[in-house]
Copies of this chain bind each other. A is one copy, B any other.
Amino acid sequence: MELLKSKILTEGIIKGDDILKVDAFLNHQLDYELLNEMGKSFYETFKDQNITKILTIEASGIAIAIIAAQYFKVPTVFAKKMESKNLDGDTYNTEVFSFTKAKNYTVKVSKKFIHKDDRVLILDDFLAMGRAALGLIDICNQAEASVVGVGIAIEKTFQEGAGLLMEKGIPLKSLARISRFENGKPVFED
C-alpha cells in the first residue's frame, strides 16, 4: 500500500539493525486517514470471505481493527495481555513470547466473544517472528472458530512469521513488506 510505505519512509525511525518505529502514525500517535485506507485495503482482500469477527491484540492492534470493522460491519475483539481483575475467569488463554520485550506473556479472550461458527479475520500492526498471530490462531482453534485470514500492516519478510502462517495454510495480506534495511532505510518487497 503506497500511503503506508510512504509514511514508513518519511516518518518511520530505524533503531539498531532491524527495529522499525512507527510511533508517529501507528503505534503511539494514530493517523485516522491512513488507518481508513488500511481498513479499506483489508476489506478489498477479504470482503468475500463472510468474516463474522475481527480479532486483534492490545494495544497497537486495536485502532487498526476497529477502523477495519467499519468496512466489514462486524464486531471486533481485542485479546488482552496479562491478568485483569475485570476479565472473566472463563477465557481462552495462550502463551506468547515477545522478542521485543524478551519475555512470555499470557493472552486471553473471553469464551463469550469467539464462537464455533465465527469466521475470524486476525489483524495486527507487525508480523515478524509471528508469535502474536500464532497465539491468536491458537485461541481461535480452542474456540473451534475458523481463521479466514491474517491482515498485517507491516511484515518483515526476513523473519519467520509469514512462513509459519503459510505452513498452517492461512492466507496472509500484508500492506507493506520489508525485506531488509539498507543504509538506515527499509527496502520494500512486492
Binding site for B on A (CB under 8 A): 15, 19, 21, 23-24, 27-32, 35-36, 58-59, 62-63, 65-67, 69-70, 73, 75-78, 80, 84-88, 100-101, 109-110, 112-113
The count of identical subunits is 2
Indicate if the CB atoms of A78 and B36 lie closer than 8 Å: no
Indicate if the CB atoms of B78 and A28 lie closer than 8 Å: yes
Q: Which of B21, B27, B63, B87 contacts A28 (CB 8 A)?
A: B87
How far, in whole Å, are A69 and B66 apart by their CA atoms in the complex? 12
Q: Which of B21, B23, B66 contacts A30 (CB 8 A)?
A: B66
Indicate if the CB atoms of A86 and B19 lie closer than 8 Å: yes
Tell me the minimal C-beta distance from A11 to chain B in angstroms.
Answer: 10
How far, in whole Å, are A23 and B64 apart by their CA atoms in the complex? 19
Tell me the minimal C-beta distance from A68 to chain B in angstroms.
Answer: 9
Indicate if the CB atoms of B112 and A76 lie closer than 8 Å: no
Q: Known interface pairs A58-B58, A76-B29. Does A86 touch B35 (Cβ–Cβ under 8 Å)?
A: no
| Contacts A28-B87, A86-B100 known; 8 new A-B pairs at CB < 8 A | A19-B86, A23-B87, A28-B78, A29-B112, A30-B62, A30-B66, A32-B69, A58-B59
In the complex, residue of chain B having the shortest beta-carbon distance to the beta carbon of A31 = B75
Q: Which of B59, B86, B101 contacts A78 (CB 8 A)?
A: B59
Indicate if the CB atoms of B112 and A35 lie closer than 8 Å: no
In the complex, residue of chain B having the shortest beta-carbon distance to the beta carbon of A64 = B66
Indicate if the CB atoms of B32 and A86 lie closer than 8 Å: no
| Residues of chain B contacted by A63 (CB below 8 angstroms) | 62-63, 66, 76
A66, A85, A100: residue with the most chain B Cβ atoms closer than 10 Å: A66
Indicate if the CB atoms of A28 and B66 lie closer than 8 Å: no
